[in-house]
């Protein structure tokens, strides 16, 4: 039950999806005290997924895609302190130190520090021209501005979702894009070979060159252009280089404060750390998934928003265990990929190509008879029903699933 909170202070470090959604959920749950959000990004909190999509292809800024309207922060009495970096957490004193030298007390602290791009140690990369990651609105704006200067040769290092989404967006802008992937296929850590092949062909058909088994070893800048060198002796000229090889979880604050760290900040089913007054949310957390019966860390807006609600309820006295099936999405060209579940550990896939309309298909991942995940391309039915089947641990008749003459309905494959 919620105790008296009118004189309490809840401080949130990180004002992206997890932190901002938590603040409004906390107020909705009945917290009457102060809610203060800190973030090093000076921009008003905005949606991150469009960075590699709409922000690159449109001149509209983040003000058109805010997480919550500005007036909501006033209405719900949520204080934003933007462009401020937290330097340390003092658990004994229940306070945080801010880079400007000030100190802020808290009764409850929520860490939603997310992650940052991992920049590999590539010789010459730090002295190359027009090198960008893709994590903030400033990154998207800088890439867009570089393109305007007739810099149209783009090399993207990394063939994950961010790299492929960025490639699609820049191709639409007329750039000549080459994607260099170190592994033998793009998306190798998250999808089956069928999905990798699909997206490689999709990009090829839109003029993007996707090259696998390309390990970048160095970059030279001369004659006003970069040259990217791989360890197989191949090289590629680039006006712009975009690095999208993965992320580094922002756990330094938590680790320095003595919180338990595994593959992220370890939390319980209610998003609480090993300090009863400190919670953690979103990309930076290592949490237990009840459905898959293992600890995981997710880079997902859905996970951030769901954990925000769970933590708000817990702080206000209602303990509901986090129990969500992960889902993700990716937009590339005219393709919407919707993914539900976690495919790691699968030993069989079934691919369906629907005949009812063009470019509509899905890949179903099984571990023996257990449905682990579904990747659906322009196929909302497969995504929705896959979600339902996974949640219910539904045993599916694989022969029926493989038969594309049988349409997708709630009872088709049971």
Structure confidence by residue, pLDDT tens digits, 268-325: 999 999 999 999 999 999 999 999 999 999 999 999 999 999 999 999 999 999 999 9
Low-confidence ranges of the chain (pLDDT < 70): 1-3, 59-64
Q: Could you give the CA distance from residue 18 to residue 306 in angstroms, rounded to a whole number?
A: 8
pLDDT value for 62: 58
Q: Could you give the CA distance from residue 176 to residue 170 in angstroms, rounded to a whole number?
A: 8
Looking at 315, 343, 366, the residue that finishes a domain is 315
pLDDT value for 57: 76
Looking at the structure, do residues 110 and 209 belong to the same domain, yes or no? no
Number of domains forming the structure of the chain:
3
Q: Contact at 8 Å (CB) between 132 and 56?
A: no
Looking at the structure, do residues 238 and 133 belong to the same domain, yes or no? yes
Dmax (CA) for the chain in angstroms is 68
Looking at the structure, do residues 261 and 350 belong to the same domain, yes or no? no
Looking at the structure, do residues 365 and 353 belong to the same domain, yes or no? yes
DSSP letters, 206-252, are TT-EEE-S--EEEEEEETTEEEEEETTS-EEEESEEEE-S-EEE--H
Looking at the structure, do residues 172 and 131 belong to the same domain, yes or no? yes
Domain assignment present for residue 320? The answer is no
**Which uninterrupted H or E stretch holds 385?**
helix 380-391
Domain assignment present for residue 32? The answer is yes
Domain assignment present for residue 76? The answer is yes
pLDDT value for 2: 60
Looking at the structure, do residues 13 and 109 belong to the same domain, yes or no? yes
**0.85 cut: is pTM over it?**
yes
Looking at the structure, do residues 217 and 258 belong to the same domain, yes or no? no
pLDDT value for 48: 85
Looking at the structure, do residues 252 and 234 belong to the same domain, yes or no? no
Looking at the structure, do residues 83 and 186 belong to the same domain, yes or no? no
Looking at the structure, do residues 81 and 142 belong to the same domain, yes or no? no
pLDDT value for 61: 60
Domain assignment present for residue 329? The answer is no
Closest CA to 319 of 23, 29, 4: 29
pLDDT value for 60: 65
Q: Could you give the CA distance from residue 84 to residue 87 in angstroms, rounded to a whole number?
A: 10
Domain assignment present for residue 323? The answer is no
pLDDT value for 233: 96
Task: State the CB neighbour count (10 A cutoff) for residue 403.
Answer: 13
Looking at the structure, do residues 171 and 228 belong to the same domain, yes or no? yes
pLDDT value for 407: 87
CATH number at residue 180: 3.50.50.60
| 3-class secondary-structure state, position 110 | strand
Q: Could you give the CA distance from residue 117 to residue 329 in angstroms, rounded to a whole number?
A: 19
Task: Give residue 269's domain range.
Answer: 9-116+248-315
Q: Could you give the CA distance from residue 192 to residue 373 in angstroms, rounded to a whole number?
A: 11
Looking at the structure, do residues 279 and 359 belong to the same domain, yes or no? no
Distances (CA, A) of 202 to 56, 334, 335, 401: 19, 10, 9, 25
Q: Contact at 8 Å (CB) between 196 and 188?
A: yes
**Cα of 290 vs its chain's centroid, Å:** 21
């Amino acid at each position: 039950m919620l105790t008296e909170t009118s004189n309490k202070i809840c401080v949130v470090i990180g004002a992206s999806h997890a932190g901002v959604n938590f603040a409004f959920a906390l107020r909705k749950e009945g917290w009457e005290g102060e809610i203060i959000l800190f973030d090093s990004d000076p921009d008003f909190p905005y949606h991150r997924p469009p960075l590699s999509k709409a922000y690159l292809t449109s001149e509209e800024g983040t003000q058109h895609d805010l997480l919550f309207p500005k007036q909501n922060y006033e209405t719900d009495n949520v204080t934003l302190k933007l462009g401020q970096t937290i330097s340390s957490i003092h658990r004994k004193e229940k306070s945080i130190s801010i880079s400007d030298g000030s100190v802020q007390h808290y009764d409850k602290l929520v860490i939603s520090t997310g992650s940052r791009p991992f920049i590999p140690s590539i010789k010459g990369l730090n002295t190359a021209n027009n090198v960008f990651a893709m994590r903030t609105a400033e990154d998207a704006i800088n890439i867009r501005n570089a393109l305007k200067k007739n810099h149209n040769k783009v090399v993207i290092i990394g063939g994950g979702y961010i790299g492929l989404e960025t490639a699609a967006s820049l191709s639409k802008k007329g750039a000549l894009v080459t994607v260099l992937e170190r592994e033998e296929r793009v998306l190798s850590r998250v999808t089956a070979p069928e999905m990798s092949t699909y997206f490689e062909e999709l990009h090829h058909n839109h003029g993007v060159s996707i090259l696998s088994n390309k390990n970048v070893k160095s970059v030279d800048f001369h004659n006003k252009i970069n040259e990217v060198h791989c360890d197989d002796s191949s090289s590629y000229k680039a006006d712009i280089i975009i690095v999208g090889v993965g992320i580094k979880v922002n756990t330094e604050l938590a680790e320095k404060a003595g919180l338990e760290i595994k593959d992220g900040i370890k939390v319980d089913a209610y998003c609480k750390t090993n300090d009863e007054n400190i919670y953690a949310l979103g990309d930076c957390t290592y949490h237990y998934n009840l459905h898959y019966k293992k600890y995981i860390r997710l880079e997902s807006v859905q996970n951030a928003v769901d954990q925000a609600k769970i933590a708000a309820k817990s702080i206000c006295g209602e303990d509901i265990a986090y129990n969500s099936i992960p889902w993700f999405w990716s937009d590339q060209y005219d393709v919407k990929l919707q993914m539900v579940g976690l495919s790691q550990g699968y030993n069989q896939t079934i691919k369906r190509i629907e005949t009812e309309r063009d470019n509509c298909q899905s890949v179903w991942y099984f571990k023996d008879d257990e449905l682990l995940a579904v990747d659906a391309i322009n196929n909302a039915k497969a995504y929705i029903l896959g979600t339902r089947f996974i949640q219910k641990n539904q045993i599916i008749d694989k022969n029926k699933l493989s038969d594309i003459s049988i349409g997708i309905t709630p009872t088709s494959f049971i």
